[in-house]
Amino acid sequence: MGLMITAEHLTKRYGSRTVVDDISFTAHPGRVTGFLGPNGAGKSTTMRLVCALSTATAGECLVLGRPFQELVNPGRHVGVLLDASAQHAGRTGHETLALSARVMGLPRRHVQQVLDRVGLSRQEADARTRTYSLGMRQRLGLAHALLGDPDVLILDEPANGLDPAGIRWMRGLVRDFADAGGTVLLSSHLLLEVEAVADDLVIIGAGRILAQGPAAELLATGGTRVHSLDDGALTLALIEAGHDARRDPEGLSTTASTEDVGRLALKAAVVLTDLQPAPRAGLEELFFTTTAQHGREEIPA
C-alpha cells in the first residue's frame, strides 16, 4: 500500500502559458505506467513536478504517500532519470555514481554492481562523461536511478539514444522491476516503445490528459470480428442489443466485445465458427487520433 505515484489536478503555468493542465493519474505498484505524448506535451514538466524539482501552480502529487520533498533520503525510495545529458561533463561516470552513493549512505561496492547491471565497462566508467555517447549517458542515468535500490522508478524518455539491443535490455529491466513489485512511470514520445512495455497508459497532449487506463483496454477499441453459421440472425441480435454490427463477405464486424457476442450468440442459438478481437492498428491509431489536433507537426513513430 502507498507504493504508488498519485497526481491530483497537477497544473503548471508559466505566466499565461499553461504547460500542465489539471493532470490526474495514478501509477500503481507492480505495473509499468507509460506516459505518452508528442514532444512538448508536458511530460517532462509533469515528471519534474512529481519529483519536486519544479513547483506546481495548483494540485499536488504524492510519491509513496508523501510529497516528494518530504521523503526521507528520497534516493533510497525513488530512482529518478529525468535527463541523461544532465551530468557534469568533467566528472567520470564512476565518480558521478560514487557521489550519489555517498549522499544516500550506500556502501562503495554498490556502485560497481549497478555499473555491471547496466553494462558499462570499467574503462567507460572511468572516462569523463563529456566523452560519452547518448546511449552511454542513458545507461549511466539508469545506473543512477537504480543505485539506491528504489521502490519507484521515474524515467523520462529512457529509450532515447539506446540502440535496438539497448532498448530491448531497458524494457526487460523495467519489466523485471515492475514484476518484483516496483512502480514504474516512464515517458516516451515513441509509440512502439510504450506499447511494448506499459501496462497502463496516460496519454497527454498540450498539457492535458487525453486518455488513460489499462493499455489492454485502451488498445481494444477495435471491437470484434465474428463468423457464424447464421450471420444474419446474429447481426440482428447484436443490433437489438444496442451494438453496431455490419455484415461483409467474410462475416461481420461489431462494436460489441467478444464476450457480449458470445452471450448473444448463445441466447440466439447461433453457432459461432470464428470469434476474435478486431485487428487493430494499435496504439498508433489511438495516439494519432487523440493527439492529432494537439501535437506538433512531426510526430515520430
Partner 1 sequence: MSSLSVPAAAAGASATRQARLGPDTARAIPFGRLCRVELRKQLDTRAGAWLLGIIALVNVGLIALLLFTAEPAGLTWSELTSAATLGQMFLLPLIGIMAATSEWSQRTALTTFALEPRRIRVNLAKVVAAASLGLAVMVVALAAGAVSNIVGVVWRDGDGSWTMDWPVLTGMILALLLLVAQGVAFGLAFLSTPVAIVAYLLLPTVWSVLTLFVDSLREPAEWLDINLTLLPLMAGEMTTSGWAQLAVSIAVWVGLPLAFGLWRTARRDIS
Select 181 or 232, whichever has its Cβ closest to partner 1. Answer: 181
Helix H segments across 158-230?
Answer: 164-179, 191-197, 215-219
Residues forming contacts to partner 1 in the complex (CB under 8 A) are 1, 3, 28-30, 44, 48, 51-55, 68-69, 71-78, 80, 82-83, 85-91, 95, 99-100, 102-107, 110, 128, 144, 148-149, 151, 180-182
Distance of closest approach, residue 39 Cβ to partner 1, in angstroms: 15
Select 189 or 225, whichever has its Cβ closest to partner 1. Answer: 189
Distance of closest approach, residue 130 Cβ to partner 1, in angstroms: 9
Distance of closest approach, residue 224 Cβ to partner 1, in angstroms: 24
DSSP secondary structure of 117-144: HHT--HHHHTSBGGG--HHHHHHHHHHH
Residues 6+ apart with CB under 8 A from 122: 115
Separation CA 82–CA 185 (nearest Å): 11
Separation CA 4–CA 182 (nearest Å): 9
Distance of closest approach, residue 98 Cβ to partner 1, in angstroms: 9
Select 151 or 193, whichever has its Cβ closest to partner 1. Answer: 151
Select 1 or 269, whichever has its Cβ closest to partner 1. Answer: 1
Select 72 or 269, whichever has its Cβ closest to partner 1. Answer: 72
Contact 77, 150 (CB under 8 A): yes
Distance of closest approach, residue 281 Cβ to partner 1, in angstroms: 27
- CA 167 from chain center: how many Å? 14
* Cell 528520497 found at: 74
SS3 215: helix
Distance of closest approach, residue 14 Cβ to partner 1, in angstroms: 9
**Side chain identity at residue 138, one-letter code:** Q
Separation CA 161–CA 139 (nearest Å): 10
Select 52 or 196, whichever has its Cβ closest to partner 1. Answer: 52
Select 182 or 207, whichever has its Cβ closest to partner 1. Answer: 182
The C-alpha cell at 133 is 555517447
Rounded to a whole number of angstroms, the CA Rg of the chain reads 23
Distance of closest approach, residue 28 Cβ to partner 1, in angstroms: 8
The C-alpha cell at 279 is 485487428
